[in-house]
Amino acid sequence: MPGQMRENVTKPRLGRALRRLREAQELTQLEVSRRARENGSLLGAEVISGWENGRRWPTIPSLLEFLDAVGCDFTDLQRALAGVEAADLAESGAGMSSEMRTMVATEMRIMIATVIGESEEVDGLQRRIRDLEQWRAAGGSRS
């Protein structure tokens, strides 16, 4: 699973999502570190900073410790990543067709659903991608 995450999510994007989760709880990096250490983690504020600034990848255990310390789970991370993705698309998607934006967004949702183990959602999203690709191959008109 970490390989899938690294192929589909950039360090900066994941970092922005983690920062959103932390800031939504009105916590500083130091407060998250303290909470994690209370539960036996060695997670430090400097490590969290490295993630949030896109310099380092978290390990799955340390990511889980972070999520626990901020009172979130993978579903919350999925939502935060979707929010970051939407912001990125809005910023860079001005020249992108709506179909392409939909495909990119759907591919991101597939990755996240795979990470959190929602196989039924993955299957449905993959069908949607195939439908969009067929629609584009047919010249953008539904037959």
Mean pLDDT by 10 residues, the chain (143 residues): 49 93 96 95 95 92 94 89 75 66 70 67 74 77 46
pLDDT at 7: 44
CATH of the domain at 14: 1.10.260.40
**DSSP symbol at 96:** S
122 found inside a domain: yes
Domain boundary among 50, 73, 96: 73
CA distances from 17 to 11, 20, 21, 61, 101 (A): 10, 5, 6, 17, 19
Q: Give yes or no: residues 105 and 124 share one domain.
A: yes
pLDDT at 123: 75
97 found inside a domain: yes
98 found inside a domain: yes
* Global pTM value: 0.62
60 found inside a domain: yes
CB atoms within 10 A of CB 42: 10
90 found inside a domain: yes
Measure the CA–CA gap between 45 and 132, rounded to whole angstroms: 43
pLDDT at 56: 92
Number of domains in the chain: 2
Q: Which domain holds residue 39?
A: 2-73
11 found inside a domain: yes
Domain boundary among 73, 104, 125: 73
129 found inside a domain: yes
pLDDT at 88: 72
Q: Give yes or no: residues 35 and 8 share one domain.
A: yes
pLDDT at 4: 40
**DSSP symbol at 93:** G
130 found inside a domain: yes
88-92: Cβ within 8 A, 24+ apart: 88/13
Q: Give yes or no: residues 56 and 116 share one domain.
A: no
